[in-house]
């Protein structure tokens, strides 16, 4: 028995992988299939799922509404399309901003003296390892009307003898954007740093030797070689931003509703899991499409694991 | 030419980004010493008084613990203690399981050829490319449907019914940790020269002894960093826990989130401060250990 | 009862699937017998099957067809840890997390030897490779040469029937490599253990081996002592791979028991008095080979195999001067030893100079085609 297993490498491999694969099957793949099934179902009056094949949820997401003014039976209501669009554009804006902020820092760390590199990286890890919810809360303390930013601004205005009206920053789309950028910034810094650090120093010398100045070296050598890091970072930022509901919940109040909030409410407040599942599938399909096209163009770097 | 020279624009940007990263944390810590009970704005530090506690309006005028008033209150808060206990239980349990099965899977994927290998490798990327909330509600649906069926079939009622709790949270945390552990250990195995194992076998060690004495010690750093990743992912997780927890399995992030929607006292800040400092010390210790290990080699 | 052969490969085939999905015979019907106490080398360029053959003896690979015998016993699918052979790896494969002592002791521990015995034997092994006092070092704290010695000690401490060495000196610099060659050879003679040595370096194989198997494309091209392989290469591949050779294409014009006459159309001349090997047929197309150092440059025409040519180039390389001579459009290489000082430029042949090349019949080989 042992001898036969010893000689059957394929059986050994399968055996070793089995626990993980069972876990993935039971808690990733089956739930996704279940979501698909539920999304075609209908909600019963007491909030349960009636299994059937109905496209109602998807039609509703696309704007078909039975809740109309002036007594019409049906009308076009772009509410959910707006939510989807808001989520995509927020994720897009967040990603761009995060790249702009992360790149110089990653570049700085990658070209710091090796001894100090760890310290600088350590400083990036601390906020990352501070809890997600706590980080949103910190921004609440900063942004609210009586918060730290307004106190500082008021103090500065006072120095110049100006009259200062505290700014309304909390519960605005801007607050949500800042919160998202803050939450996901380290996820961009680390992969970019990793790919920058991998670049062989002699390439810079070669570029200089061939007559490229600092800017040309950056554009023609450094930037292209750090693209795997940017790609990995984008995936690590864009996808979670699309699905997060805490940031908009806390920093956006009821003003900024994203697809994540929509799904969460369907499961907890509105108790319509079928509609929530449909929204969730749409969200998943959107992120998969973005990831697919993005990685097809730029490749899927191993940097993703490093972070 | 100094290889470490950097453009001033880069340096200024770096400083600004670090300020951006740390300003919220500094404010968070500062407010945990706030004399204001409602924590709406900062009203100064709490003075220390050893004899009497006197309160005026919303301000804590003086308290036995002085500036650390909110930390004292925190230590008396049973909900927080319970949530902290849950958080750690979940993190340790899910890390333990995911490290073991993840390492096994990494060995399988890196060393062996088998039929389902391409599929297995691909499935590891699912949690990375799918938003957590999609996973969360999927798992919630699975559990509620499964428990509904089982409770009905087994005729379970009342407290003996299967329901969401620590178990469901741990099982779900393993699901999102395992792929990360597997990928990290796999990356370590990639650089692993097979001749070490062949040498061990050549010297008379059987497969198990070879693993125990040679392979395992050599990939241990990879396993540890995978485990560390799993542990921090679990500590940090909000979304999956949010959908899979039940009564009695509240974790700290869930607890904080619950408070944020009600009245916030500086206790939340005190909790955050403790969290930040714990993380700081843990990361510091880890770095020191790592650099010591590097020096040895 | 010990068998005559320490290791025997009988008609062994090892098939691999290439990444493109093709089947490849890495080892193609190899048969070889390695005698007890012999220093045996497998020599060939990368991909010739020498390392795969060695790995099949060690038990890291199993033959697809045929059988490996160690001390007369068929090995079948016996795992490495049940074979009385030990390996010195190309990368040394020293366990980085263990000290030198622990590395060497590992194999003894696996045998279940007691602590005292382990200590005694490790000590003796370290003396043998001149590393006494290094017990507590980690492999990374040793030089390449020292690591190599630890690898040898770790394998030899188990007193194997056969020691397998897979290019063990490949990572060392030239000077150290030459030292280690002699040391390994001395060690082998002193211990009397069979060594099977894999290398791509012909000089190394020549220096150390009692017998050499020259391999190419998964097949053994020739097996023999260093002298046999150099002086009587079995085919054009061996003649070309070991040392250097001039090749001329020709036809056997006449054949007697002792000697042959080969007509070489390129030179429009006959080579006479050539020693005969087995299996040649009159009229057969053959390749004639002669080593560059065995071509003689003469100042007058002799009565055997003398040809007039013109010098096209000379290269001075210290011990020798390589002279390139054009013989009716065919370039012939000649190595002349620098027995006299060449400081005077006049001592070299000048380009365009007319010279007479003599190929003594005993130095000319006739090789079968194909």
Size of interface A-B (CB pairs under 8 A): 279
Does residue C199 share a domain with residue C265?
Answer: no
Does residue B142 or residue B50 have the better pLDDT?
Answer: B142
**Residue A248, number of CB atoms within 10 A of its CB:** 27
Contacts of B178 in chain A (CB under 8 A): 20, 23-24
Residue-wise pLDDT for A142-201, tens only, equals 898 888 888 888 888 888 888 888 888 888 999 999 999 999 999 999 999 999 988 887
pLDDT of A307: 43
Of C224, C239, C254, the residue that ends a domain is C239
pLDDT of B48: 57
Identify which of B269, B238, B267, B231 has the alpha carbon closest to the alpha carbon of residue B252. B238
Query: C84 in contact with B at a CB cutoff of 8 Å?
Result: no
CB contact under 8 A, C107 and B204: yes
Does residue C203 share a domain with residue C89?
Answer: yes
pLDDT of A306: 46
Compare all CA atoms of chain B with the CA of A182 and give the residue at the minimum distance: B21
Compare all CA atoms of chain B with the CA of C157 and give the residue at the minimum distance: B203
pLDDT > 70 in chain B, percent: 87
Does residue C183 share a domain with residue C158?
Answer: yes
Please report how many Cα atoms fall inside a 13 Å half-sphere around the Cα of residue A52, on the Cβ side.
11
DSSP string for C36-92: TT-EEEEE-STTSSHHHHHHHHHTSS--SEEEEEETTEE-TT--GGGSSEEEE-TT-
Rounded to the nearest angstrom, the minimum Cα separation between A89 and chain B is: 16
pLDDT of C343: 82
Size of interface B-C (CB pairs under 8 A): 66
Residue B1 banded pLDDT, cuts 50, 70, 90: very low
- Comparing CB atoms, the residue among B21, B113, B139 nearest residue A13 is B113
Query: C154 in contact with B at a CB cutoff of 8 Å?
Result: yes
| 8-state DSSP, B163 | -
Does residue C285 share a domain with residue C196?
Answer: no
Identify which of A147, A249, A134, A146 has the alpha carbon closest to the alpha carbon of residue A182. A134
Structure tokens of C202? Answer: 């012909």
Contacts of C75 in chain A (CB under 8 A): none
Does residue C35 share a domain with residue C149?
Answer: yes
pLDDT of A10: 84
The enclosing domain of C85 has a CATH number of 3.40.50.300
Mean pLDDT over each residue of chain A, to the nearest integer: 86
Contacts of A13 in chain B (CB under 8 A): 108-109, 111-114, 117
Residue B40 has pLDDT above 70, yes or no: no
Residue-wise pLDDT for C7-46, tens only, equals 999 999 999 988 888 888 999 999 999 999 999 999 999 9
Does residue C208 share a domain with residue C86?
Answer: yes
pLDDT of C177: 92
Q: What is the mean pLDDT of residues B103-118?
A: 89
Query: A7 in contact with C at a CB cutoff of 8 Å?
Result: yes
Rounded to the nearest angstrom, the minimum Cα separation between B114 and chain A is: 5
The DSSP H or E segment spanning C11 is strand C5-17
Residue A106 has pLDDT above 50, yes or no: yes
Residue B23 has pLDDT above 50, yes or no: yes
pLDDT of C86: 95
How many structural domains is chain C composed of? 2
What percent of chain A is helix, strand and coil (3-state, nearest 5)? 75, 5, 25
Compare all CA atoms of chain C with the CA of A8 and give the residue at the minimum distance: C77
pLDDT of B259: 84
What pTM was computed for the model? 0.82
Residue to mutate among A5, A31, A205, A261, with most B CBs inside 10 A, is A31
Q: What is the mean pLDDT of residues B249-258?
A: 90
Contacts of A112 in chain B (CB under 8 A): 4
Chain C: touching chains (3 or more CB pairs < 8 Å)? A, B
A40/A46 Cα distance (integer angstroms): 18
Of C239, C256, C271, the residue that ends a domain is C239
Q: What angle do CA B100, B106, B108 make, to 5 degrees?
A: 105
Q: What is the mean pLDDT of residues A104-110?
A: 92
Name the CATH code of domain B77-262 (choices 1.10.3720.10, 3.10.150.10, 3.30.2350.10, 3.90.1150.10).
1.10.3720.10
Q: Which domains does chain A have, with CATH numbers?
A: 84-306 (1.10.3720.10)
Does residue C102 share a domain with residue C171?
Answer: yes
Does residue C258 share a domain with residue C183?
Answer: no
Contacts of A6 in chain C (CB under 8 A): 79
Chain A: touching chains (3 or more CB pairs < 8 Å)? B, C
Specify whether the CB–CB gap between C78 and C59 falls below 8 A.
yes
Mean pLDDT over each residue of chain B, to the nearest integer: 84
pLDDT > 90 in chain B, percent: 39
pLDDT > 70 in chain A, percent: 95
Q: What angle do CA B39, B40, B42 make, to 5 degrees?
A: 70
Least confident of A102-106, B108-112, C343-347: C343-347
Query: C247 in contact with B at a CB cutoff of 8 Å?
Result: no
DSSP string for C254-301: EE-SSEEEEEETTTTEEEEEEEP-TT--TT-EEEEEE-GGGEEEESS-
Least confident of A37-41, B60-64, B93-97: B60-64
Please, which residues have CB within 8 angstroms of residue B7's CB and are 6 or more apart in sequence? A214
Does residue C234 share a domain with residue C252?
Answer: no
Does residue B41 or residue A100 have the better pLDDT?
Answer: A100
Interface confidence (ipTM) of the complex: 0.87
Contacts of B289 in chain A (CB under 8 A): none
What are the phi and psi torsion angles at B59 (to 5°)?
A: -95, 140
Tell me how far the alpha carbon of residue C330 is from its chain's centroid: 30
| 8-state DSSP, A51 | P
Contacts of A7 in chain C (CB under 8 A): 77
- Comparing CB atoms, the residue among B115, B135, B174 nearest residue A31 is B135
Contacts of A148 in chain B (CB under 8 A): 23, 27, 42
pLDDT > 90 in chain C, percent: 71
Least confident of C121-135, C271-285, C308-322: C271-285
Does residue C73 share a domain with residue C126?
Answer: yes
Does residue C262 share a domain with residue C232?
Answer: no
Residue-wise pLDDT for B174-207, tens only, equals 999 999 999 999 988 887 888 999 999 999 999 8
Q: Where are the alpha helices (DSSP H) in chain C?
A: 50-58, 100-111, 115-128, 144-156, 174-191, 202-208, 226-231, 236-241
Identify which of C265, C239, C238 has the alpha carbon closest to the alpha carbon of residue C252. C265
Residue-wise pLDDT for B262-295, tens only, equals 777 788 888 889 988 888 888 788 777 777 766 6
Q: E strands within chain A? A: 42-43, 49-50, 64-65, 75-76
Q: What angle do CA C77, C82, C84 make, to 5 degrees?
A: 110
- Comparing CB atoms, the residue among A134, A147, A185 nearest residue B21 is A185
pLDDT > 70 in chain C, percent: 99
CB contact under 8 A, B130 and A21: no
C205/C223 Cα distance (integer angstroms): 12
Does residue C281 share a domain with residue C223?
Answer: no
Residue B84 has pLDDT above 60, yes or no: yes
Rounded to the nearest angstrom, the minimum Cα separation between B94 and chain C is: 29
Q: Which residue has the tokens 């949500």?
A: A176
Residue C332: exposure state from Cβ atoms within 10 A (0-12, 13-18, ≥19): buried
Cross-strand pairs, A43: A49
Contacts of B268 in chain A (CB under 8 A): 137
Contacting C residues, span 271-300, partner chain B, CB-CB under 8 Å: none
Residue A305 has pLDDT above 60, yes or no: no
Chain B: touching chains (3 or more CB pairs < 8 Å)? A, C
Residue-wise pLDDT for A226-268, tens only, equals 888 898 899 889 999 998 999 999 898 877 889 999 999 888 8
Q: Which residue has the tokens 């490495």?
A: C80
Residue-wise pLDDT for C75-113, tens only, equals 998 999 999 999 999 999 999 999 999 999 999 999 999
Domain of residue C16 covers 5-239
pLDDT of C154: 95
Contacting A residues, span 52-81, partner chain B, CB-CB under 8 Å: none
CB contact under 8 A, A126 and B1: no
The enclosing domain of C270 has a CATH number of 2.40.50.100
pLDDT of B142: 94
pLDDT of B212: 93
Residue B134 banded pLDDT, cuts 50, 70, 90: very high
- Comparing CB atoms, the residue among B198, B209, B218 nearest residue C80 is B198
Rounded to the nearest angstrom, the minimum Cα separation between B75 and chain A is: 18
Does residue C116 or residue B3 have the better pLDDT?
Answer: C116
Structure tokens of A155? Answer: 């103090």
pLDDT of B70: 81
Q: What is the mean pLDDT of residues C144-170?
A: 93
Of C239, C268, C300, the residue that ends a domain is C239
Contacts of A8 in chain C (CB under 8 A): none
Contacts of C59 in chain B (CB under 8 A): 201-202
pLDDT of C185: 94
């Amino acid at each position: 028995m042992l001898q036969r297993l010893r000689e059957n490498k394929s059986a050994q491999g399968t055996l070793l992988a089995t626990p993980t694969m069972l876990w993935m099957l039971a808690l990733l793949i089956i739930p996704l299939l279940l979501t698909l099934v539920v999304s075609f179902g209908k909600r019963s009056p007491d909030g349960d799922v009636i299994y059937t094949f109905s496209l109602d949820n998807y039609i509703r997401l696309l704007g078909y509404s039975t809740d109309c003014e002036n007594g019409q039976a049906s009308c076009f209501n772009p509410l959910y399309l707006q939510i989807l669009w808001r989520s995509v554009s927020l994720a897009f804006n967040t990603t761009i901003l995060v790249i702009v902020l992360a790149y110089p820092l990653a570049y700085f760390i990658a070209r710091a003296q090796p001894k100090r590199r760890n310290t600088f990286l350590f400083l990036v890890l601390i906020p990352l390892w501070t809890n997600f919810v706590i980080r949103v809360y910190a921004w609440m303390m900063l942004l609210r009307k009586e918060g730290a930013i307004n106190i500082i601004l008021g103090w500065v205005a006072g120095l110049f003898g100006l009259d200062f009206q505290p700014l309304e920053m909390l519960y605005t789309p801007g607050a949500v954007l800042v919160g998202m950028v803050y939450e996901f910034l380290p996820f961009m810094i680390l992969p970019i740093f990793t790919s920058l650090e991998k670049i062989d120093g002699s390439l810079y010398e070669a570029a200089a030797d061939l007559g490229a100045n600092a800017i040309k070296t950056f554009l023609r050598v450094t930037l292209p070689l750090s693209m795997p890091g940017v790609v990995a970072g984008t995936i690590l930022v864009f996808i979670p931003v699309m699905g997060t509901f805490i940031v908009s919940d806390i920093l956006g109040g009821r003003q900024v509703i994203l697809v994540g909030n929509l799904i969460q409410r369907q499961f907890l407040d509105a108790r319509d899991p079928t509609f929530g599942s449909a929204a969730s599938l749409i969200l998943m399909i959107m992120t998969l499409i973005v990831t697919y096209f993005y990685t097809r163009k730029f490749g899927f770097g191993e940097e993703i694991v490093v972070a | 030419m100094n290889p470490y020279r950097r453009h001033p624009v880069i340096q200024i940007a770096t400083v600004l980004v670090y300020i951006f990263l740390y300003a919220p944390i500094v404010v968070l810590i500062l407010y945990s010493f706030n004399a204001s009970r409602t924590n709406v704005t900062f009203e100064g530090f709490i003075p220390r008084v050893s004899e009497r506690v006197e309160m005026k309006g919303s301000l804590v005028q003086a308290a036995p613990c002085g500036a650390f008033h909110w930390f004292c209150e925190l230590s008396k808060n049973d909900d927080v203690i319970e949530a902290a206990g849950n958080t750690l239980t979940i993190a340790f349990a899910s890390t333990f399981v995911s490290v073991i099965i993840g390492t096994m899977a990494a060995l399988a994927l890196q060393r062996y050829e088998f039929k389902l290998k391409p599929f297995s490798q691909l499935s590891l990327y699912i949690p990375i490319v799918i938003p957590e909330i999609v996973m969360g509600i999927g798992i919630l649906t699975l559990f509620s449907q499964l428990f509904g069926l089982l409770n009905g079939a087994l005729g379970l009622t009342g407290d003996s019914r299967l329901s969401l709790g620590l178990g469901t949270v741990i099982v779900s945390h393993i699901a999102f940790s395992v792929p990360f552990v597997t990928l990290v250990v796999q990356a370590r195995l990639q650089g692993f020269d097979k001749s070490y194992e062949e040498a061990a076998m050549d010297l008379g060690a059987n497969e198990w002894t070879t693993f125990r004495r040679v392979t395992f010690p050599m990939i241990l750093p990879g396993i540890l960093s995978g485990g560390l990743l799993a542990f921090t992912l679990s500590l940090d997780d909000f979304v999956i826990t949010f959908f899979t927890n039940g009564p009695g399995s509240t974790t700290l992030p869930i607890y904080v989130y619950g408070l944020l929607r009600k009245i916030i006292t500086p206790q939340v800040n005190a909790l955050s401060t403790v969290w930040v400092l714990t993380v700081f010390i843990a990361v510091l210790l880890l770095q020191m250990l790592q650099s010591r290990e590097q020096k040895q080699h | 009862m010990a068998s005559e052969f320490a290791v025997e490969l009988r008609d062994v085939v090892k098939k691999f699937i290439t990444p493109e999905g093709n089947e490849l015979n890495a080892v193609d019907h190899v048969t070889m017998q390695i005698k007890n106490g012999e220093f045996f080398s497998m020599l060939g360029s990368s991909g010739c099957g020498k390392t795969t053959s060695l790995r099949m003896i060690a038990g890291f690979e199993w033959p697809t067809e045929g059988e490996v015998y160690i001390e007369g016993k068929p090995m079948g699918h016996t795992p490495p840890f049940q074979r009385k052979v030990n390996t010195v790896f190309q990368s040394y494969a020293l366990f980085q997390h263990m000290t030198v002592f622990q590395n060497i002791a590992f194999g003894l521990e696996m045998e279940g030897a007691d602590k005292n015995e382990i200590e005694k034997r490790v000590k003796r092994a370290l003396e043998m490779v001149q590393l006494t006092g290094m017990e507590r070092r980690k492999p990374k704290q040793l030089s390449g040469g020292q690591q190599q010695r630890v690898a040898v000690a770790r394998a030899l401490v188990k007193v194997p029937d056969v020691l397998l060495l897979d290019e063990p000196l490949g990572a060392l610099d030239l000077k150290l490599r030459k030292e280690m060659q002699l040391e390994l050879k001395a060690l082998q003679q002193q211990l009397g253990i069979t060594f099977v040595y894999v290398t791509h370096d012909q000089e190394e194989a020549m220096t150390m081996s009692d017998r050499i198997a020259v391999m190419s494309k998964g097949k053994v091209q020739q097996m023999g002592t260093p002298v046999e392989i150099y002086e009587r290469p079995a085919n054009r591949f061996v003649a070309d791979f070991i040392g250097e050779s001039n090749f001329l294409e020709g036809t056997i014009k006449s054949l007697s028991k002792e000697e042959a006459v080969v007509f070489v159309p390129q030179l429009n001349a006959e080579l006479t008095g050539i020693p005969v090997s087995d299996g040649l047929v009159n009229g057969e197309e053959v390749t004639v080979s002669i080593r560059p150092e065995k071509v003689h440059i003469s100042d007058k025409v002799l009565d055997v195999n003398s040809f007039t040519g013109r010098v096209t180039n000379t290269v001075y390389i210290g011990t020798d001067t390589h002279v390139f001579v054009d013989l009716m459009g065919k370039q012939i290489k000649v190595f002349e030893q620098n027995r006299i000082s060449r400081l005077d430029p006049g001592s070299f042949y000048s380009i365009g100079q007319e010279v007479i090349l003599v190929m003594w019949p005993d130095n000319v080989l006739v090789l079968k085609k194909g």
